[in-house]
Amino acid sequence: MFDKILIANRGEIACRVMRTARRLGVRTVAVYSDADVDAAHVALADEAHPIGPAPATESYLNGAAIIAVAQRTGTQAVHPGYGFLSENADFAEACAAAGLIFIGPPPAAIRTMGSKSAAKALMEKAGVPLVPGYHGDEQDPVVLARAAEATGFPVIIKASAGGGGKGMRVVRRVDDFDAALEAAKREAKAAFGNDHVLVEAYLERPRHIEVQVFADSRGNTVHLFERDCSIQRRHQKVLEEAPAPGLTARQRTRMGAAAVAAARACGYVGAGTVEFICEEKDFYFMEMNTRLQVEHPVTELITGQDLVEWQLRVALGERLPLKQNQIAVSGHAIEVRIYAEDPARDFLPATGQIAHLRLPADMPYVRIDAGVREGDEVSVHYDPMIAKLIVWDDDRVGAVTRLRAALAATEIAGPANNVGFLATLAGHPAFASGEVDTGFIERYREDLLPPPGPVSDDVLALASLAVLLRRRQAAAERALRSSEPHSPWNDSRGWRLNVETHSRLEFRDGERAVAVVVNYRADGYALDLPGGRIEVTGEILASGALRAVLDGRRVTAAVVRHAGDMVVIVSGVSHRLRLADPLDAVADEPASGGRMTAPMPGKVVKVHVSPGQNVLRGAPLIVLEAMKMEHAISAPSAGRVAAVHYADGDLVEEGAELLTLETSTHA
């Protein structure tokens, strides 16, 4: 086994590789950018070294700096994780030239499968079925438009050099093709440094099923069964499970054989994933990811194998640990990706400090792969993943039940996050029945993303109780420090014998003002809420959790103060309130008028308008990029552009005024 390896990555995948390395007695070297000096993967490694400024192009994509660290530290091999340089053939060759083992496939296989066009040409020769469309090298917009018309709308434009939903656009009408092509190429160039695209028929209700393959340098290739990754938003995966629900034994066998054929066709070595798009009984090759996948833990849980250990052994030239007939499926596993993002705002990525983080403890049925800790910052520079939550049980019904329980035990305060959305998804009857395809979220959008409503009386009661208990606790601490600790003036309970005493708490629930009248009792409080009176008692535990009794019902919650707000977390779902100071008047926010502001921090990649220009409702104004994903800002109504405050390439903070639009009353 290796003595020392360098992990050329960050976050949860770097931590995950380090855990296997530590179990095998392998020392680890971490690299970090200026933004990650205090990151979790830096703390977990045996040693860590800086490689450059925060932008990935100057640090985690700086292959020369990473190789220099590897040579300086006496490292034998480099594990690239996923993303960044993991599918960069030039980096793999540079590692070999520096005397380092690249823990990944041969550069030739990376190049072949890294180009969707080249990969599909090779798959066609190998007899692997392909989606109808254009997979050639010609990139003239006229040629691509003609290919789209020949294929038949709807079509999907895909970046040839990458995945993850970047550089991808669905086009349903010929009139929309040119704009979609321009956007897809621009996004592909930003994400992968290559704007080459292909055009394929768009399947309306497809499933996204991928097969884990592994090959050694001695000619042995196996698959470790499939994963269903159909539930996606913005063409990016949200939830993965293994095995794929509803797949027949014959389909599983055919798909596994096709994946092995694909790996052999490109001379593959190491861990890889062959991705298929499926509709009813048919399946078609999409692409091959020449690396370990984000969702590999579900495969590990159903097969009982450590795929990172397999990677290390294969990189050393060893045979695969198991033959195909020795690999079997046991039970069912589901993974969800917990992101700092706002589902209510089309899943826009969020940034900021994680003020409170409680994740379920690792146990035989629940696994947590995380790369952040409480107090860490989610940066605009990198992927906003907080953690991966993976569950296992004997069957899918049990796994879904465990997923719901694990999400209910997850608490996050700070940046917006998708835990509540995931809990709603996991509880949806269509998901429980296995009705999964790539259109799941859009089809059930009204169920999964209902418009925000007022917080419940229970949430208001918990927030009020937390305020009252903390005031009592502060008063008790003051009393202990005073010369008369038992003086009645130090009693903050508010209760008096034979006297009805009460006070008032004012909250802001979004734009709504809510009053809670507190009636003091000898053993607690009676709260007058919008829906009526609730009798409450409770205590703040040493862990900081709030344990409450609401009208006889026991409820445990977290109430966290963050950025002036109170975040009440119940069963994994966060509710944000603001406690109004009665001494201060609540000032209404000024009307924004025609100010168009940035919905997220990011970079301006395209300004479509100039001052003085008239625009129609829905016209594109500015395109922002955050975490390599584009977000187009359109005109909310017809009007005239009065001012543009940023140019292409400028960085902006959330809430920054991008331009001023003088709106018109005309359509």
Domain ranges of the chain: 4-103, 132-201, 212-219+247-448, 457-580, 595-663
Which residues, other chains included, contact 442 with Cβ-Cβ below 8 Å and sequence gap of 6+?
Answer: none
Instruction: Specify the pLDDT at position 583.
Output: 37
Q: Which range, of 240-249, 451-460, 575-584, averages the lowest pLDDT?
A: 575-584
Bridge partners, residue 607, by sequence: 622
- Residue 584: which pLDDT band, with cuts at 50, 70 and 90? very low
CA distance 131 to 175: 23
CA distance 342 to 415: 9
Place of tokens 């395109």: 623
pLDDT in tens, 369-395: 999 999 999 988 899 999 999 999 999
Residue 278 dihedral angles phi and psi, to the nearest 5°: -125, 145
50, 54, 57, 58 alpha-carbon torsion, rounded to 10°: -50
Q: 4-103: which CATH number, 3.30.10.20, 3.30.300.20, 3.40.50.20, 3.90.180.10?
A: 3.40.50.20
Instruction: Look at the pTM and tell me if it is higher than 0.85.
Output: no
- The answer to whether 148 touches 591, Cβ cutoff 8 Å, is no
Instruction: Specify the pLDDT at position 602.
Output: 80
What mean pLDDT do residues 565-578 have?
92
3-state secondary structure of 633: strand
Instruction: Specify the pLDDT at position 588.
Output: 33
Q: Which range, of 162-171, 389-398, 432-441, averages the lowest pLDDT?
A: 162-171
Q: Which fold has domain 457-580?
A: Glycoprotein, Type 4 Pilin (3.30.700)
- Residue 487: which pLDDT band, with cuts at 50, 70 and 90? low
What number of residues does the chain have? 667
- Whole-number average pLDDT of the chain: 90
Q: Which fold has domain 132-201?
A: Dna Ligase; domain 1 (3.30.1490)
591 has a pLDDT exceeding 50: no
| Backbone dihedral region for residue 315 (phi beyond 0: left; psi -120 to 50: alpha; all else: beta) | alpha
Instruction: Specify the pLDDT at position 115.
Output: 82
592 has a pLDDT exceeding 50: no
- Residue 629: which pLDDT band, with cuts at 50, 70 and 90? low
CA distance 98 to 606: 40
- The answer to whether 533 touches 527, Cβ cutoff 8 Å, is yes
Its CATH architecture, for the domain 212-219+247-448, is 2-Layer Sandwich (3.30)
501 has a pLDDT exceeding 90: no
CATH class belonging to 595-663: mainly beta
Q: Which two tokens stand for residue 255?
A: 């798909």
- Residue 24: which pLDDT band, with cuts at 50, 70 and 90? very high
Which residues, other chains included, contact 589 with Cβ-Cβ below 8 Å and sequence gap of 6+?
Answer: none
Query: Which position among 27, 227, 233, 291 bears the catalytic label?
Result: 291
Bridge partners, residue 232, by sequence: 237
Place of tokens 């300004």: 607
354 has a pLDDT exceeding 90: yes
pLDDT in tens, 301-341: 999 999 999 999 999 999 999 999 999 999 999 999 999 99
CA distances from 138 to 49, 145, 183 (A): 43, 11, 18
Residue 467: how many CB atoms within 10 A of its CB? 18
Residue 643: how many CB atoms within 10 A of its CB? 14
Instruction: Specify the pLDDT at position 217.
Output: 96
| Backbone dihedral region for residue 389 (phi beyond 0: left; psi -120 to 50: alpha; all else: beta) | beta
CA distances from 446 to 205, 239, 658 (A): 18, 19, 31
What mean pLDDT do residues 420-433 have?
96
Instruction: Specify the pLDDT at position 586.
Output: 33
CA distance 68 to 587: 56
- The answer to whether 297 touches 388, Cβ cutoff 8 Å, is yes
Instruction: Specify the pLDDT at position 483.
Output: 61
Residue 543 dihedral angles phi and psi, to the nearest 5°: -75, -10
573 has a pLDDT exceeding 50: yes
Instruction: Specify the pLDDT at position 299.
Output: 98
Instruction: Specify the pLDDT at position 209.
Output: 97
- Residue 663: which pLDDT band, with cuts at 50, 70 and 90? confident
In the residue annotation, 291 being an active-site residue is answered as yes
74 has a pLDDT exceeding 50: yes
569 has a pLDDT exceeding 90: yes
Instruction: Specify the pLDDT at position 566.
Output: 92
- Residue 218: which pLDDT band, with cuts at 50, 70 and 90? very high
CA distance 368 to 217: 32
| Strand spans (E) along 302-426 | 332-339, 341-342, 348-349, 352-353, 356-358, 366-370, 377-378, 385-393, 411-413
498 has a pLDDT exceeding 70: no
499 has a pLDDT exceeding 80: no
